Structure 1
Amino acid sequence: MASSAHPSSSSSDPTIHVLTLNCWGLKYISTHRHARLVEIGNRIASASPQPSLVCLQECWTQQDYQAIRAATSHILPHGKFYFSGIFGGGLAILSAWPIVESSMYRYPLNGLPAAFYRGDWFVGKGVACARIEMPADIFGQGKSRILEVFNTHLHAPYKPEPLDTYVCHRTAQAWEIAKLMRHAVERGHFVLGCGDFNMRPASLAHQLIETHSGVKDVWRVLHPDSSLGSANDQVERERGRKVPNAGFNVTENGATCDSVLNTWRWNKGQQKRLDKGEDITVALDTEDPGAKRLDYIFFGGGGERDDERAWSVEAANVGMMERHPELKCSLSDHFSVEATFRLSTRPADTPMASSTPYGAVLPPATYTTIADMIAKYTSREAKQRRIRVSHFFAQFAISIGCLVGVWWTPNYASFILMLVSTLGLSAGVIDGLMGFLFVNSEIRALKEFNWEIDAAKQRAVLVEAGKGAQEETLEVGKTGAGGHTQGAVGEPEAMREDNGKMEMVV
């Protein structure tokens, strides 16, 4: 029987080592899929420090999942493969400690069935949720012993924002996982949100998560000045920084995708040389204008006033950059994100640096931007619904006309009319189902999202108005009789003199 305590942990060193990786394990599509995922399992098993928790995305097949489990079971004896959608969500969680409860939450807004060539809707993207109870002899008996993990893969961007058609869906998905994580934080548990979020730092989705979930982006905690996208993105060009090299991107910017170090981003000529067995190396000082950070670890919660403990991030790095030993290719088209967390004591009156105060809001203008995006996308989908429904009725009428025409046409013409009727009506029925059922469902989900954003905006307006009123009160309460200042409730506040200037002692 596997021990409940993690091999690398001790009562004097209560740490958790976390790894998240998009494996690029698309069946029939991803090159060298099984060989790469087997090697990913081997690298996880030999990693130092040993991981306590691993979150995988795009691990689509049971064969690949079981291969990784077989390689890592001695350090990660507990695991869960999550089932979702028509083809599966590709999410899996491996843990050093028992997963006592799990669920799969599917996003209400999750791509379009018409975009079958992209597949986001068909895989049923969502959040793989797991509740883990860590050993009491290491992490104590309190709420900080409970770890809630949320593993996800948000809708892929197919164009840069704001041109991306699916930015509304991805932002809505970020809102949903933010709510799940906030609820866990409110329960006082330690919370980890991992995965391929397909978003840029400081994007609307990123802002919603950090503001409304009570968690923080690990990389931004340790590297607050890291990039907000690739050097090619407008937001980075506006910062006026020189194009970073590959080494800087992985050590400072946390770039996990589109790096020149990743062989799956090379041109066809380089990949052909690699396929012939040539081991091509890329220097770390090579300019890397396209690399960006799409994979994240968020953390929060776990603070307990009764025993004055809190979780803090100790280290974070980009990993899984090694090549396959025989194939010489990268293990995935993404690199991993890895982080170490420590449970430590703190003064009882010290706030947790990792938490966001409950009720925190973004500026009202940000919610207005999101609401405008929802309105624009809803209008687009309403138009799509009219087109699809109209196509159904038009095709139905054409089919009836073709069947009537069969009575007065020769055999070969009858065959053509029947073929046109059958194929056309089939397409019309599919379009009608999407128009009547899917688009209606999508618009209703958009209405729910819009209501919640509107409620958040109203709260933000009240918060901003409250701040304005407080500042106005302080401005009005300037020095009066006796050299005192009147505070917000008319009470004199203590004053001090510093270099001839009077300041309120807050």
Structure 2
Amino acid sequence: MSMGIPVVSKNRAERMKAIAEELSRAEYEVVCLQEVWMQRDYKQISRRCSAVLPHSHYFHRYTASASDGRSSGVLGSGVCVLSKFPIEDVFFHQWPVNGYIHKIQHGDWFGGKGVGLCRISVAGIKINVYTTHLHAEYDRESDEYRVHRVLQAFDLSQMVRLTSVGADVVILAGDLNTEPGDLAQRIICHNSELSDTHNVFTQAQHSEVALRVSHSFLMSSDRMKPGSGDWAFAHQQSSVRFSEDFALDSKDQKYVLNNSNKEGATETFAHWAGFKQDLSRRIDYVLFRPGPDTQVEVVMYKQPLPEFVHQRDFSFSDHEAVMASLRITKDSSVSTGERKLDIDERITSLREGAALCDLALLQLHRVQRSYWLCSATLFLLLLATLSYESPGLYLKMFNTVHVGLTLLLTFTVAMAGFWYTMERNGILAGKLGMEIALSRLKKERVVRRYGTVT
């Protein structure tokens, strides 16, 4: 779920109420939400769902915040879990690199984004449930936050790896803000050996795939090419069987065919958000990994919510909710060794990540140097204006210039001396972590191939 930003998000209160009502009527066992920035929204949802999801947890940024009930970060972490089963343990890791404070129009820095872990037990089966929210992608062609998202992906994969020892099943659900095949998505899946419920279910249901389309919201009719099989969709992608009679059971197709040619037709936020992005986007995931002696079957994967809030002209969120139903069984005959991903794919992903970090560090050095040059220039200008004796008639103007130069100098020094130093340390820490993981994987590859390490 998304669009929970106070003041900015349209119909936020009504959306949160509708989400709470929808969840309270459904039969979900675990629900992971993102962008629930306000505590009162979380409390409203958890109270309304208490009959069916009696256990819940909101992940705060600081321990002090958790004790006094305030939001973490500036707006809160935004991530929470509702569960039918008791939550036995929790843990939260906040991203060390998450956007820029001066990019107010983006706002990612103001939320304490990270990954939260809830450990639950169902009929003796230990399940680690992770929920997360990665940095948004604002411009796919020129993505200034790509390295931030890749570092977050690596942190996420490492947390899953290092905290899932002893778990029978690992489940990760959240807004990864990265498309299938992107570096961040590959690092998450490869380094933590997670499988995508969407892909597993699709492959099981449709063995012969003729077309790869999405099933979230169809684009306007002028983007469609009837008869060619090239139907333009946005946001959620799915592999499906396709025929000329368009015999696909999809509420979203029905919605667009009925409304796309009407002037002033109401739009959902998912429709609005999808138009800004490339076709066939999928950025929300439910990933899983069975543990030792455990088998997991993906029984269902779908988008469970209706297009619009009941009797209203807006949707629940700018993201389509996704639901996966898993059948978990203990099976001592399952070989975990056979389930491991190709180690070469894991090495390739981490190599790309480390190379991206090297490039980011080089660019960061250049930007930091430019801020120092700006600081030196502003300092000299400030000295020059201070030493200049201004006429009384222009005193007010000179004072205004002094204040402006001082504020700019403070900003550039803070960016060069503090902010970019912190970002450099965050990127360097991630890069070194990737290099250590690469070293471990290379040794593991040698052992697999030759049975020894030199």
Q: How does the TM-score come out when normalised to structure 1?
A: 0.71
Is 1:132 aligned with 2:120? Answer: yes
Q: CA contact under 8 A between 1:56 and 1:92: conserved in structure 2?
A: yes
Matched, 1:444 2:425: yes
CA contact 2:59–2:77 (8 Å) conserved in 1: yes
Letter in 1 for 2:297: S
1:53 paired to 2:30: yes
**Among candidates 376, 381, 396, match of residue 398 of structure 1:** 381
Find 1:108's aligned residue among 92, 96, 109: 96
Q: Quote the offset at 1:248 in angstroms.
A: 12
Q: 1:185 aligns with which of 164, 169, 176?
A: 164
Cα distance change of structure 1 residues 250 and 363 upon mapping to structure 2, 3 Å threshold: closer
Does residue 151 in structure 1 map to residue 128 in structure 2?
Answer: no
Equivalent-residue separation in structure 2 for 1:122 and 1:184 (angstroms): 27
Q: Does 1:380 align with 2:363?
A: yes
**CA distance in 2: counterparts of 1:153 and 1:333, whole angstroms:** 14
Letter in 1 for 2:387: V
User: How many Å separate the matches in 2 of 1:153 and 1:409?
Assistant: 54
Distance in 1 (CA, whole Å) between partners of 2:369 and 2:393 is 35
Return the offset for 1:289: 7.5
**2:450 & 2:4 partners in 1: Cα distance?**
55
Structure 2 counterpart of 1:16: none
Cα deviation digits, residues 215-253 of structure 1 (max 9, x gap):
211112222479599999xxxxxxxx9534659966647
| Residue 121 (structure 2) pairs with residue 121 (structure 1) | no
CA displacement 1:275-300 (0-9 Å, x = unmatched): 9xxx9xx9xxxxx9824211001112
1:295 to 281, 284, 298: 284
Q: Which runs of 5+ in 2 are unaligned?
A: 61-71, 204-208, 220-227, 241-251, 272-276
Distance (whole Å) between structure 2 residues aligned to residue 270 and residue 432 of structure 1: 54
Deviations 1:314-369 (A, max 9, x none): 221122233112322211111111011222243x3322599536x94526544443
Other-structure match for 1:195: 174
3-state SS of paired residue (1:59): coil
> Does 2:333 align with 1:356?
no
Cα 1:247–1:395 shift into 2, 3 Å: closer
RMSD: 3.5
CA distance in 2, matches of 1:363, 1:189: 22
2:327 corresponds to 1:342: yes
Aligned counterpart for 1:90 among listed residues 78, 85, 102: 78
Kindly indicate whether the alpha-carbon contact (under 8 Å) linking 1:185 and 1:214 is maintained by their aligned counterparts in 2: no
**Aligned length in residues:** 405
Match of residue 212, structure 1, among 188, 191, 215: 191
Distance in 2, matches of 1:96 and 1:131, equals 12
1:274 maps to 2:258:
no
**1:123-162 CA distances to partner (integer Å, 9 max, x unpaired)?**
121112222233xxxx13xxx3x2222111111111225x
1:85-134 deviation per Cα after TM superposition (whole angstroms, max 9, x unaligned): 22212111111122232232111221122212101112121112222233
Tell me the equivalent position of 1:433: 414
CA 1:425/1:215 → structure 2, altered by over 3 Å: closer, same or farther?
same
Q: Percent identity?
A: 23
Residue aligning to 2:68: none
Kept in 1, the 8 Å contact 2:170–2:288? The answer is: yes
Instruction: Using structure 2 for the length normalisation, give the TM-score.
Output: 0.79
Report if aligned partners of 2:101, 2:109 keep a CA contact under 8 Å in 1. Answer: yes
> Highest Rg: 1 or 2?
1
- One-letter amino acid of the counterpart of residue 230, structure 2: V
* Secondary structure of the structure 2 residue equivalent to 1:293: coil
For the residues of structure 1 that align with 2:188 and 2:262, how far apart are their CA atoms? 39
1:400-419 equivalences in 2 (<5 Å): 400-405=383-388, 408-419=389-400
Q: CA, structure 1 residues 442+212, in 2 after alignment: closer, same or farther (shift >3 Å)?
A: same
Structure 2 residue corresponding to 1:317, chosen from 287, 296, 302: 302
CA distance in structure 2 between the aligned counterparts of 1:188 and 1:132, rounded to whole angstroms: 10
Q: Name the aligned partner's letter for residue 442 of structure 1.
A: E
2-structure distance, mates of 1:445, 1:180:
16
- Any conservation in 2 of the 1:244–1:289 contact (CA below 8 Å)? no
**Matched-pair contact (CA < 8 Å) for 1:201–1:229:** no
Shift in Å, 1:176: 0.7
Closer/same/farther in 2, CA of residues 438 and 326 from structure 1, 3 Å limit: same
